[in-house]
Structure 1
Amino acid sequence: MKILWETTFKNSIVGILPPTTDPFSPDEFYLADGWTSMYSSMRLRRISFLSGKETANVLIRSMVRCLYFSPEGKSIFAIADSKIFKINRETLQIEEKFDKSIPKYTDFMQSDDMGNFIMMNYVGKTISVFNHQQNKLLKKKVTKNDWCCNIIKEDTDNYLIFSSKNGVVQRYNLPNNSLEIVLETQTFHKGTKDKKGNFYFQLGQFKTGGMNTDTLNPLNQILIVSAEKQQKTYYFEFDFNEIMLSNDENSLFLIGGSKIWQFSIKKESIINEITAPKSTSILHFFEEKQLILAIAHASGDKKIISVNI
C-alpha cells in the first residue's frame, strides 16, 4: 500500500455524489462539495488522479447529487437539489440551467441517452422522468413498493428499480410509463445485479419513527438470488454499509469504515482484506485503478488521501 498524494479542500467533499471518473478522460475524476458546506460556495470539482490537484471547477451553489455524461462527451449534466445544470465537459462552464418541474433531492438516476433522465429519491414514492430536450416531466407512483437504493439500466426502454423498504425489484418501462414486479424478497439496504441475471443484496432492517424519521439500517448479511431464483444468505462478523460487484462479477467488495473485504462468490468466503491508512475512512474504491480515496479523520471531511493498493 502506497500513499500517492494528500489534498485538503476548502469545503467538505462528503455528500451524495461519490467520486466519479470522467469516462472520456480517465486520469481525472469529479468531486462535489458536500455536507456542512455553505450553499453560496458549493462547487463541482475536477481532480487529477495522478496529482490530486484540482484542474477545473464550476460554481453550482447547491449539492450535486448525480452526474450524467452525454454519449459524445461534450456535456455533463449535474443533477443538484432542485436544478439540473448542463455543463461543457471541457471547460466546466454552465451552458444551460433547468429549474422548472425538477424533482427535489434525486439520489439515483439513469438515462436513455436520448434526453430522458429516470430519477428517484432514496425514500421516494415516485419515479420522475425529466426530458431536458422537451423540458417536460413525467411521473409514475410506485405505490407501496417505495424507497430506492439503486436504478439499473437494462436497455433503452427498461430500468430496474431496487425498492429497498419492502424488498422488491421492479422493472420500469419508459415508453409505457409502467411497472412490473421482477423479484420479491427481504428488506435490503443495498442491491445490484450482474449480467447473468443474479441479484446481490445487503439486507437491512426498517424501523418506523415519528415525524418522518423512518430508518433503514444495514445488516451484516448478504443475500444472493440466482437467475433461477435460488436464494442463499451469508452472515458476517464485521460491519459494512456498502456492497460493490467486481468488474469480472466474481466477487463482492464489502466496504465499511476503513476496510474492504473481498468476498468470492464462487468460493463463498472472504479472500482478501484491504485496510485504509490509520485515522481515515474509505470514501471510494476504484477497482480498475486499484486505488482508494480515504477521508482523514478530524479534517472536517476536507482532506483526501489517495492510496494505491
Structure 2
Amino acid sequence: MKKLWEIELKNSIDGGVSPTIDPFSTDEFYIADGWCSMYNSMRLRKISFISGKETANVLVRNMVKYIHFSVDGNFIFAVTNSKILKINRENLKIEEKFDKNIPKYMDYFQSDKAGNLVMMNHVGKSVFVFNCLENKLVQKKVTKNDWCCNILKEDNNNYLIFSPKTGTVQRYSIAENKLETILKTQVFAHGTKDQKGNFYFQSGEFKKGGMCTDSLNPLSQILIISAEKQQKTYDFEFIFREIRLSSDKKSLFLIGDNKIWQFSLEKETIISEIIAPKGSSIIEFFEEKQFLLAIAHQSDNKKMIGVTIR
C-alpha cells in the first residue's frame, strides 16, 4: 500500500453521496459537501484519483445523495434532499432544476438507462420512481415492509428492495407498480444478491426505542442463502459495518471502520486484509482501481487521504 496524497477539503463530506467514480472519465470521482456545511457553500466536487486535486465544482446549496449519469455521458443528475439538478458533465454547470413532486430525504437509489430513479428512505414505507428525463414522478408504492438498507437492480423493470427490520426481500416491478415478497429471513443490517440467485446478509439486531429512536445494529455475522434455499452462517471476532460482493463474485469484502477483510466464499475463510492509514477511517473502496479513500480522525471529516493498494 502507498499513500498517494492527502488533501484538506473545504467542507465536511459526512452524510453526502458516497465517493462516485466517473464512468466516462475513470481517473476522476465525485464527492459532495455534507453535514455541518453552510447551505450557501455546499458543492458537488470532482476530484482527481492521481493527485487528489479538485478539478471542478458546482454550487448546489444542498446535500447531494446520489448521482445518475445520462447514457451519452453529457449530463449528471444530482439528487439532493429536496431537488434534482441536471448538470453538464464537462463543465459542471447547472442546466435545469427539478423541484416539483421530488421525493425528499431519500437514502437508497438505483437508476436505469431510461432515466428512472428508484428511491426509498432508510426508515420509509414507500418506494418512489422519478423519471429525470421526463421530469415527473412516475409512481409511488407503499410497502408493508418498511425500512430499507439496499435497492438492487435485477433488470430495467425489476428491483430488489431489502427491508432489514422485517428480514424481507421484495421484488418491485416498475411496469406493474407491484411488490412481491421473494425471501423472508431473519433481521439483517445489510444485504445483497449475485446473478446466480444467492443472497448475502450481514445479520442485525433491531432495538425498539421511544420517540422515533428505533435502531438497527449490525452484528459480526454473515448469513448466506443459496438459490436452492440452503443456509450457512459465519461468525467473526471483529466488527464491520458493510458487506460488498467482489467483482468476480468469489469473495465478500467485510468493511470496517479502518480495515477491510476479504472473505473467500469458496475457502470459507479470510484470505486478505486491507488497513487504512493510521489515524483514519475508510470512506470508500474502489476494488477495480485497487484504491482506498480514507478520512483522517480529528479533522472534522475534512482531511481526505488517497491510497493505492497494489
Q: TM-score range by the shorter chain?
A: over 0.9
Structure 1 partner of 2:198:
198
Alignment of 1:52-201 (within 5 A): 52-137=52-137, 138-143=139-144, 145-201=145-201
Mapped to 2, the partners of 1:274 and 1:115 lie a distance apart of: 36
Structure 2 partner of 1:35:
35
SS at match of 1:289: coil
SS at match of 2:64: coil
Q: Give the partner amino acid of 1:247.
A: S
Cα shift readout 1:243-270 (whole Å, capped 9, x = no counterpart): 1110111011101111011100111111
Structure 2 partner of 1:241:
241
Cα shift readout 1:43-86 (whole Å, capped 9, x = no counterpart): 10000000000000011111100111111111111110011111
Mapped to 2, the partners of 1:298 and 1:134 lie a distance apart of: 44
Instruction: Using the TM superposition, give the Cα deviation of residue 12 of structure 1 relative to its aligned residue in structure 2, in angstroms.
Output: 0.4
Mapped to 2, the partners of 1:40 and 1:217 lie a distance apart of: 34
Contact 1:240 1:255 in 2 (8 A): yes
Contact 1:12 1:33 in 2 (8 A): yes
Mapped to 2, the partners of 1:38 and 1:207 lie a distance apart of: 33
Structure 1 partner of 2:228:
228
Q: Give the partner amino acid of 1:30.
A: Y
- Identity in percent: 67
Runs of 4+ in 1 over 6 A off after TM superposition: none
1:272–1:133 distance in 2 versus 1, CA, 3 Å: closer
1:59–1:154 distance in 2 versus 1, CA, 3 Å: same
SS at match of 1:40: helix
Q: Give the partner amino acid of 1:289.
A: K
Mapped to 2, the partners of 1:273 and 1:156 lie a distance apart of: 35
Contact 2:14 2:33 in 1 (8 A): yes
Mapped to 1, the partners of 2:16 and 2:146 lie a distance apart of: 20
Q: Give the partner amino acid of 1:67.
A: I
Mapped to 2, the partners of 1:211 and 1:44 lie a distance apart of: 34
Instruction: Using the TM superposition, give the Cα deviation of residue 136 of structure 1 relative to its aligned residue in structure 2, in angstroms.
Output: 2.6
Contact 1:66 1:106 in 2 (8 A): no
Q: Give the partner amino acid of 1:13.
A: I
Q: Give the partner amino acid of 1:106.
A: M
Instruction: Using the TM superposition, give the Cα deviation of residue 123 of structure 1 relative to its aligned residue in structure 2, in angstroms.
Output: 0.8
Contact 1:261 1:272 in 2 (8 A): yes
Contact 2:16 2:31 in 1 (8 A): no
Q: Runs of 5+ in structure 2 lacking a partner? A: none
Instruction: Using the TM superposition, give the Cα deviation of residue 196 of structure 1 relative to its aligned residue in structure 2, in angstroms.
Output: 1.2
Cα shift readout 1:143-197 (whole Å, capped 9, x = no counterpart): 2x11111111111111111111101110000011001011111111111111111
SS at match of 1:288: coil
SS at match of 2:240: coil
Please report the TM-score for the alignment, with normalisation by the length of structure 2.
0.97
Instruction: Using the TM superposition, give the Cα deviation of residue 135 of structure 1 relative to its aligned residue in structure 2, in angstroms.
Output: 3.1
Instruction: Using the TM superposition, give the Cα deviation of residue 133 of structure 1 relative to its aligned residue in structure 2, in angstroms.
Output: 3.6
Q: Give the partner amino acid of 2:131.
A: N
Structure 1 partner of 2:257:
257
Indicate the larger mover: 113-122 or 77-86. 113-122
SS at match of 1:77: strand
Mapped to 2, the partners of 1:283 and 1:303 lie a distance apart of: 12
> What value does the CA root-mean-square deviation take over the aligned residues?
0.9
Structure 2 partner of 1:266:
266
Q: Runs of 5+ in structure 1 lacking a partner? A: none
Mapped to 2, the partners of 1:217 and 1:11 lie a distance apart of: 28
Q: Does 1:20 align with 2:1?
A: no
Cα shift readout 1:250-308 (whole Å, capped 9, x = no counterpart): 01110111101110011111111111111011111111111111110111100011111
Alignment of 1:44-55 (within 5 A): 44-55=44-55
| Equivalent residues, number | 308
Contact 1:12 1:35 in 2 (8 A): yes
Alignment of 1:206-225 (within 5 A): 206-225=206-225
Please report the TM-score for the alignment, with normalisation by the length of structure 1.
0.98
Mapped to 2, the partners of 1:157 and 1:307 lie a distance apart of: 38
Contact 2:31 2:47 in 1 (8 A): yes
Instruction: Using the TM superposition, give the Cα deviation of residue 36 of structure 1 relative to its aligned residue in structure 2, in angstroms.
Output: 1.2
Q: Give the partner amino acid of 2:37.
A: S
Q: Give the partner amino acid of 1:35.
A: W
